[in-house]
Amino acid sequence: MDILQLVIISIVASVIFIILKDINPGFAFFIIILVGIIIFSSVIQQIRLIFQVIQSLGEQASVPGLYLETILKIIGIAYIAELGASMTKDAGLNSVAKNIELAGKIFILLLAIPIITAVIEAIVNFLPTV
C-alpha cells in the first residue's frame, strides 16, 4: 500500500470519526484504532527494509552486533511508544499517553546504557594518563 492510499484511508476514517463521535463514540474510536492498525501493518514491510539496510551498513562499518541490535530496538520502542501515546491521546486519555511516553523513554534509556558505557570508555581511553 502506498502513501496516497494510506492518506485517503486516513482522511475517510477521519470524516467518519467526526460524523460518528457524537452519535456512537465507541464505534468512532474503534474506526480510528482499525485505521491505525491498517497503517502500522502496511508500513511494517518498509520498516523491515530499513532495518535490513541499517544492518547491512553496520556490517560494512564493522559495528558490533550488540550495538546495532540495541539501536534497532531503541528505534522500534520509540515508534511503538509514539503510536500507543497517539492512540490514547485520540481517546482523550492524555494521562495514559504521558505514561506511555515516559515508559518508552525509560526503556530506551535502559537499552542505551551499554552504548553510553562504551562511548565513555572510548573517551577515557583517548585521554592521556596523568
Residue 90, domain member (yes or no): yes
Per-residue pLDDT band for 130 (boundaries 50, 70, 90) equals: low
Please state the length of the chain.
130
Phi, psi of 92 (to 5 degrees): 85, 15
Res 116 pLDDT > 80: yes
Q: Which domain holds residue 129?
A: 63-130
Residue 125, domain member (yes or no): yes
Q: If 0-12 CB within 10 Å is exposed, 13-18 middle and 19+ buried, where does residue 111 land?
A: middle
Residue 16, domain member (yes or no): no
Residue 97, domain member (yes or no): yes
How much is the pLDDT for 57? 83
How much is the pLDDT for 98? 96
The predicted model gives 5-16 an average pLDDT of 91
Residue 118, domain member (yes or no): yes
Q: Cβ distance 14 to 6 under 8 Å? A: no
Q: How many CA atoms lie within 13 A of 79 on its CB side?
A: 11
Average pLDDT over the chain reads 87
Task: Please report where in the chains the cell 523513554 appears, as a residue.
Answer: 105
Q: Cβ distance 35 to 9 under 8 Å? A: yes
Residue 46, domain member (yes or no): no
How much is the pLDDT for 97? 94
Phi-psi label, residue 52: left if phi above 0, alpha if psi -120 to 50, beta otherwise: alpha
- How far CA 70 is from CA of 26, 60, 127, in Å, comes to 38, 17, 27
Cell of 18: 467526526
The percent of residues above 90 in pLDDT, for the chain, comes to 28
pLDDT tens track for 31-90:
888 998 888 888 887 888 887 888 888 888 887 777 888 888 898 899 889 988 988 888
Residue 86, domain member (yes or no): yes
Residue 74, domain member (yes or no): yes
Identify which has the larger pLDDT, 121 or 45: 121
How much is the pLDDT for 63? 75
Number of domains in the chain: 1
